[in-house]
Amino acid sequence: MSIPRHIAIVMDGNGRWAQRRHLPRKLGHREGQKAVRATVEHCRQRGVAALTLFAFSSENWQRPGDEVHALMQLFVKALDSEVDELHRNGVRLTFIGDLDRFDAELSARMRAAMARTAGNDALRLNVAVNYGGRWDIAQAARGIAGAAMRGEIALDAIDELTLAPWLCLADQVPIDLFIRTGGELRVSNFLLWQLAYAELYFTDTLWPDFDAAALDAAIDAFAQRERRYGHTSAQLRATG
Ligand code: FPP
């Protein structure tokens, strides 16, 4: 059976999970953290190489102040409580996004967790914080424009192949499977460039209810897909 090497997830539905139980939304995010833990562990067990989670988008700053504050506190606590175990399990943690917008202490902790786990290779766990797909493409464009101004690359040489290394996750295997929980059918400015050939999978399950069986269902659906990359089915059969 074909296992996706890299899975990216929009973890949607924490707020609704809490509201349905007449609980404050922040309790939904706390419950969501448990689903993160279970998903990381299950990916590791199933031999997935990389998992990228959308934890906080560039647009999430617009939420009510107390919800943003609760999410920041959750991230700080999660860094304190989870990093030891991730490290013990050989997980390499990377944050992608514009980390400078966070307060200095939180961004320093994120950088410290990345440095601490940098030598691990059991699973790459990428957590997108203050991330947006358009931001990513813009920062890549800024990077390559700087290289062009320094004379390191000719303007004519800028194409898909030379721009790609400037984007987040360029050092990792391509995304095979995109999952969005919570019933919405959109990509919401997640990895716009990197999802070009990902298989898309949507489920009504709310993120706090997403467990090992739900992840297995997504992986099973992925295994049924025919990935053609612009070719025809007949061409794929001919080349095996
Ligand atoms: C979307 O649900 C979820 C978020 C904006 C936050 C995701 C954060 C976590 C799962 C917390 C733990 C994460 C880490 C990495 C420690 P929503 O609030 O938009 O839900 P709704 O659509 O039901 O309102």
Give the pLDDT of residue 1. 72
The Cα 29–Cα 35 span in angstroms is 10
Which pLDDT value is given to residue 39?
98
* Mutation to probe ligand 1, out of 10, 14, 57, 99 (largest number of atoms < 8 A from CB): 14
Q: Which atom of ligand 1 is nearest to the CA of 30?
A: 11
**CA distance readout (Å), 65 to 17, 26, 60, 68, 70:** 20, 12, 10, 5, 9
Residue 30: per-residue pLDDT: 95
Rounded to whole angstroms, how far apart are CA atoms 129 and 80? 17
CA distances to 153, 161, 170 from 164, rounded to whole Å, are: 14, 5, 7
Question: Does the beta carbon of 14 lie inside 6 Å of ligand 1?
Answer: yes
32 pocket-lining for ligand 1 (C-beta < 6 Å): yes
11 lines ligand 1 (CB under 6 A): yes
| DSSP-based three-state secondary structure for 179 | strand
Quick check: helix, strand or coil at residue 67?
helix
pLDDT at 233: 81
C-alpha neighbours within 13 Å on the C-beta side of residue 149: 6
Q: 127-156 burial, b if ≥16 CB within 10 A, otherwise e?
A: bbbbbbbebbbebbeeebeeebeeeebeee
Q: Measured from the CB, is residue 78 less than 6 Å from ligand 1?
A: yes
3-class secondary structure, 94: strand
Closest CA to 174 of 146, 193, 161: 193
pTM (2 d.p.): 0.95
193 CA to centre of ligand 1 in angstroms: 22
Quote the ligand 1 centre to 67 CA distance (angstroms). Answer: 10
Using the mean position of ligand 1's atoms as its centre, give its distance from the Cα of residue 49 in Å: 23
Instruction: Identify the pLDDT of residue 228.
Output: 78
**Of 60, 88, 33, 56, whose CA–CA distance to 208 is shortest?**
33
pLDDT of residue 227: 78
pLDDT at 158: 98
pLDDT digit string (tens) for the chain, length 240 residues: 799 999 999 999 999 999 999 999 999 999 999 999 999 999 999 999 999 999 999 999 999 999 999 999 999 899 989 999 999 999 999 999 999 999 899 999 999 999 999 999 999 999 999 999 999 999 999 999 999 999 999 999 999 999 999 999 999 999 999 999 999 999 999 999 999 999 999 999 999 999 999 999 999 999 999 877 888 888 788 886
Residue 11's identity, in one-letter code, is M
CA of 229 to the centre of ligand 1 (A): 32
Question: What domains appear along the chain, each with residue ranges and CATH number?
Answer: 6-239 (3.40.1180.10)
Report whether 182 contacts 207 (CB < 8 A): yes
